[in-house]
A and B are shown apart, each in its own frame.
Chain A
């Protein structure tokens, strides 16, 4: 691609004398993320749900967990609650917030308008996701700190699994949000469309009920849900009891969901509202 804008033909405005410095992906990404963060700050409802739910709700489950029969599962109060807390962060601060963001930007034709410019498609989606992903990351770190301080979970036995689990989750849920937004015609419908994955994840991925206490057959199906490998890696990484085989299996399931998400977004993502 030639960077010189054919100054030989036709007189152009004084602006054409300026060096034609091209924008960089990082610059564009930050510009979009900054605008998106401003918008998030003005959407008080979304902001409250994103910040408050993951930091408070998991701890209301404390009494339920106390009554669970955890003997023989190798789990403790802390190792049940910590992954749950991170799950709430991924589901509410990242996934469900972003489905609304994508639906709203599409509805207002922001996505279409951005596509007329130099921003690439992946930058548009990533830029919009960046603030939510950052919140999810910071929240998860804070939650780990809170659990360490309040629930005596100790230090992770296999930290690399914890890190990997969190990173996979932070990539997977924005993608799943983009996919969910495909079927969300408006911000209102987005709030309904997030329900299936939200419920399936909360009930079946070990976020509220560890897979270890489920019947084996049900557990082996639930292992395949998108959130399950994330929880398995974080919980197993923290207790240090995740074997290499189990770890690899969880990573593969997570990567498969990410690949599926990328495929679906490339194939079906809508950049403008249906008419």
Chain B
């Protein structure tokens, strides 16, 4: 039996106004896995996460965390999970130490507050009021409180938003270390690089639905690579060898720029360059690009939008 720590089946969530933020998503996260929910603002990441955290009831579908309903069987789940919300949640007039003490006393098996604060680089800031912390320090305090009970499952809602590059790296290192210790992590992010760097698997959310899911490499591999260049003067797309023979699966023209899509980048590029050499033309602004998560992400968003427009 596979050890599924998080199990989401056909989750739907509507708000009182009638807006449906999550429209039937399903995914599972195994023990010790780091799963990223990637999406633009308003894609439904936080709405999904809040149901998993047990803050909200789903409108439809089922959600299980560690085998329990996180909303109705709260007492069974909470001692084993740690949560970092998208923003804030600590009284601004309390100091860091006072906040940590309060949180530790409310958490089963809490670690020593000094150790936890040190692990996020907040040693020596204990006497400072929360309102005087920088944005990055607040995020790190938030992370520390999520970690204080050594949770088996960690929910991180945009953990690095508002951090500078160095703070982001440090948080990544910390999250990686937790994963290596066997902590199951579900994080949301709109930073592609973050998902690429950290996630074992990810799901790209778009308008409340999962547009793509799988290992980072698989999601990327499902997208075509691209070759683009400026057509030499006097040449037209029809002057190229038949595109299908080059292994090209699609193309579009914008002005003088031709963009080819292919699943066999090396074959297509070689054929194209051989043709250019034989014909004696120069391919200006040549750009040969393997599929990346960014391309995949943009393409998925574009496909979904086109699809919607077609339906209309």
Question: Does residue A35 face the partner (Cβ distance < 8 Å to B)?
Answer: yes
Question: Does residue A119 face the partner (Cβ distance < 8 Å to B)?
Answer: yes
Q: Of B91, B178, B183, which is within 8 A of A35 by CB?
A: B91
Chain B 94-130 per-residue mask, 1 if CB under 8 angstroms from chain A, else 0: 1000110111111111010000000000000000000
Residues of A within 8 A of B109 (CB): 15, 18-22
* Contact A43/B93 with A23-B106, A31-B106, A109-B85 known, Cβ cut-off 8 Å: yes
Question: Does residue B150 face the partner (Cβ distance < 8 Å to A)?
Answer: yes
Residues of A within 8 A of B91 (CB): 35, 39, 104-105, 108, 110
B87, B88, B98, B102, most chain A CB atoms within 10 A: B102
Residues of B within 8 A of A109 (CB): 85, 87-89
Question: Does residue B78 face the partner (Cβ distance < 8 Å to A)?
Answer: yes
Cβ contact within 8 Å between A20 and B89: no
Number of interface residues of A (CB under 8 A): 42
- Say what secondary structure dominates the interface of chain B: loop
A5, A6, A18, A117, most chain B CB atoms within 10 A: A117
Question: Does residue A32 face the partner (Cβ distance < 8 Å to B)?
Answer: yes
> How many A-B pairs with Cβ below 8 Å?
116
Docked complex Cα distance between A32 and B94 (Å): 12
Question: Does residue B75 face the partner (Cβ distance < 8 Å to A)?
Answer: yes
Least Cβ distance of A152 to chain B in Å? 43
Q: Of A21, A32, A108, which is within 8 A of B102 by CB?
A: A32
Cβ contact within 8 Å between A12 and B83: no
Question: Does residue B53 face the partner (Cβ distance < 8 Å to A)?
Answer: yes
Question: Does residue B79 face the partner (Cβ distance < 8 Å to A)?
Answer: yes
Residues of B within 8 A of A12 (CB): 150, 152, 181-183
Q: Which chain B residue lies CB-closest to A275?
A: B15
Least Cβ distance of B237 to chain A in Å? 50
Q: Of A22, A27, A42, which is within 8 A of B93 by CB?
A: A42
Least Cβ distance of B172 to chain A in Å? 18
Docked complex Cα distance between A81 and B104 (Å): 45
Q: Which of A1-46 contact B (CB under 8 A)?
A: 1, 5-6, 9-13, 15-16, 18-23, 27-28, 30-32, 34-35, 38-39, 42-43
A contacts, CB < 8 Å to B: 1, 5-6, 9-13, 15-16, 18-23, 27-28, 30-32, 34-35, 38-39, 42-43, 104-105, 108-110, 112-120, 271
The 4 A-B pairs with the shortest beta carbon distances in the complex, nearest first, are: A113-B89, A31-B105, A15-B150, A116-B83
What are 5 A-B residue pairs whose CB atoms fall within 8 Å in the complex? Answer: A10-B31, A35-B94, A39-B94, A118-B75, A119-B106
B contacts, CB < 8 Å to A: 3, 31-32, 53-55, 74-76, 78-80, 83, 85, 87-94, 98-99, 101-109, 111, 150, 152, 178, 181-183
